[in-house]
Amino acid sequence: MTVIFEKSVAGRRGARPPECDVPDRAEVASRLLRDRPAELPELSEADVVRHFTALSRKNFGVDSGFYPLGSCTMKYNPKATEQIARLAGFCELHPLLPQLPGGDVMVQGALEVLFEMNRLLCEICGMSAFTTQPLAGAHGELTGVMIMAAYHKHKKNRKTRILIPDTAHGTNPASAAIAGYQVQTLPSDETGLMNLRTLAAAMDDEVAGVMLTCPNTLGLFNPDIARICRMVHEADGLMYCDGANLNALLGVCRPGDIGFDIIHVNLHKTFATPHGGGGPGAGPVGVCERLVDYLPASVVRKNPDGSYRLDYDLAHSIGYVAPFYGNFGVILKAYAYLLMLGGEGLRRVAENAVLNANYVREKLKGHYDLPYPQPCKHECVFSASAQAAAGVRAIDIAKALIDRGFHPPTMYFPTTVPEALMIEPTETESKETLDAFIAAMIEIAELARTDPQQITGCPRTTPVGRLDETRAARKPDLASL
């Protein structure tokens, strides 16, 4: 594979731009002028198309195959919602469009989307109000913990710590620390859950709150969750729900009803937006009634005449957490997705997510260690420790899956499971796809036993084999494929 610059031939053209209509170079200060023309590749149209088509084929994405990455739900990106996000009436809007007399007349449709999205998320999560401002899950967490801090400050509570289980996503302790709290990590018990005894031993009046993922990152639902909420509330602590992956709960139970006070959800995991490359994402935050006044400004309100306006006048707001109203295109896609599914469809998302994960768990449990064997929710976590003892580690299994046309599952997370393989089959995957993946996993487990070098030598089908990952990150060589 050569880079496009190496294919350049002086004078070759794919398209001819119209005559230049920007001011003559004589009008530009001479110190700003180039002394040589810009180095741009010169190629024909076919050269360019073939170059990028070849590159795209080296990529693996949800459009090329099964993607069982755990704790990272949304591998279903409906094409219809992409089309809706591209509608000119939405994508040609600008947040600084003039506010005409009588309200934000030119952006009424966009405000309605935000208002309705907040309303639907309240209904799905059992919360009183939502903000769509946060631009990612971690950003939502920080917003949520800032709301928690504002509440305690207002009530003059002296709070110093946030309790977080050892299975949490790394962003949880990071968000709590950035918001100024000490983080106390609570060890999970032998069933993989936060238990009441450990919590009681850690609780005191200085605990600002507990951040819990629900179901947790092992895919397990904590049957003591309501009692945990009660215990934390007794010390005027707040319950934070990391709802990044809400697939298992949709339409079945609502975190607000369980007793959670704050939640963030990842639209780019649970609600139809592509997830990858660090963005774009959206991490809306919902709160219970007594925290509504602390939400970020602005808030979209509905006027008695049915029109919408932005309200900046919030007494205890934590202020802006993002420019304007959040990642509008992402919110729009998620809104379209919710309308497409409806209440019944959402419930089926949850049922199929749980069914698919338990199917994979049952089929693979004789072949890989399953440290927490109880039924799971939307994902299941295996350990490759038996294979590792024979020299085949989780990373080798991941590379062998690539050769078999599958994206690897999440590995080495949660850190409480040695050689973790965290599998989350999306709810939209068919039984045939799951069966093919299961067959590949079983074949790999057999080979790990009988002929381990077949696995440790993978991948063999990719443009490059095993990379020195540190060197690849520090001194990337993008041209020598």
Ligand X SMILES: *Cc1c(COP(=O)(O)O)cnc(C)c1O
Residues that bind ligand X (CB under 6 A): 71-72, 136-138, 169, 171, 213, 217, 242, 244-245, 266, 281, 283
Give SS3 for 260.
Answer: coil
Parallel, antiparallel or unpaired: strands 238-243 and 207-213? parallel
DSSP sequence for 123-170: HHHT-SEEE----SHHHHHHHHHHHHHHHHHHTT----EEEEETTS-T
If the CB atoms of residues 242 and 396 are measured against ligand X, the closer one turns out to be 242
C-beta closer to ligand X: residue 255 or 456: 255
Closer to ligand X at the Cβ: 138 or 164?
Answer: 138
Token pair for 381: 């976590």
> Cα separation of 200 and 202, whole Å?
5
Backbone φ and ψ for 239, nearest 5 degrees, come out as: -100, 120
Least Å distance, CB 187 to ligand X, is 18
For the record, the structure tokens of 322 come out as 């993002």
Residue type, 436: A
Cβ 427 to ligand X, closest distance in Å?
16
Name the residue number minimizing CB distance to ligand X: 137
Instruction: State how far the alpha carbon of 227 is from the alpha carbons of 56, 194, 199, 392, in Å.
Output: 50, 11, 11, 42
Are the C-beta atoms of 365 and 400 separated by less than 8 Å?
Answer: no
C-beta of residue 407 within 8 angstroms of C-beta of residue 433: no
* Shortest Å, Cβ 141 to ligand X: 7
* Through-space distance between the first and last CA atoms of the chain, rounded to whole angstroms: 5
As given in the structure block, the two tokens for residue 363 are 């089929």
Of 162 and 445, the one with the shorter C-beta distance to ligand X is 162
Closest approach, Cβ 474 to ligand X, in A, equals 24
Minimum Å distance from CB 20 to ligand X? 43
For the bound state, the minimum distance from the C-beta of residue 412 to ligand X, rounded and expressed in Å, comes to: 15
Identity of the residue, 72 or 110, whose beta carbon is nearer to ligand X in the bound complex: 72
Closest by alpha carbon to 272, among 212, 346, 377, 218? 346
Rounded to a whole number of angstroms, the minimum distance from the CB of residue 152 to ligand X is 23
Give me the phi and psi of 422, to 5 degrees please: -105, 110
H or E element at residue 453:
helix 453-456
CB half-sphere exposure, 28, CA atoms < 13 A: 8
Residue reference for tokens 């238990």: 195
Q: How far is the CB of 254 from ligand X (least distance, A)?
A: 18
C-beta closer to ligand X: residue 281 or 367: 281
CB of 434 to ligand X, least distance (A): 21
CB of 262 to ligand X, least distance (A): 14
Q: What DSSP element (H or E) covers 339?
A: helix 328-364
What is the smallest separation between the CB atom of 73 and ligand X, expressed in angstroms? 8
Least distance CB 139 / ligand X (angstroms): 7
Q: Which is nearer to ligand X, 237 or 414 (CB)?
A: 414
Residue among 368, 426, 366 nearest 393 (CA): 368
Read off the tokens for 12: 């070759």
Q: Return the structure tokens found at 251.
A: 């339409």
User: What CA–CA distance (Å, rounded) separates 75 from 58?
Assistant: 19
Closest CA to 363 of 445, 420, 419, 449: 445
Asked if 385 and 226 count as a contact pair (C-beta separation under 8 A), the reply is: no
Nearer to ligand X, 209 or 444 (CB): 209
How far apart (Å, rounded) are the C-alpha atoms in residues 410 and 398? 9
Q: How far, in whole angstroms, is CA 135 from its chain's centroid? A: 11
CB of 378 to ligand X, least distance (A): 11
* Distance between CA atoms of residues 454 and 389, nearest Å: 16
Closer residue to ligand X (CB): 136 or 455:
136
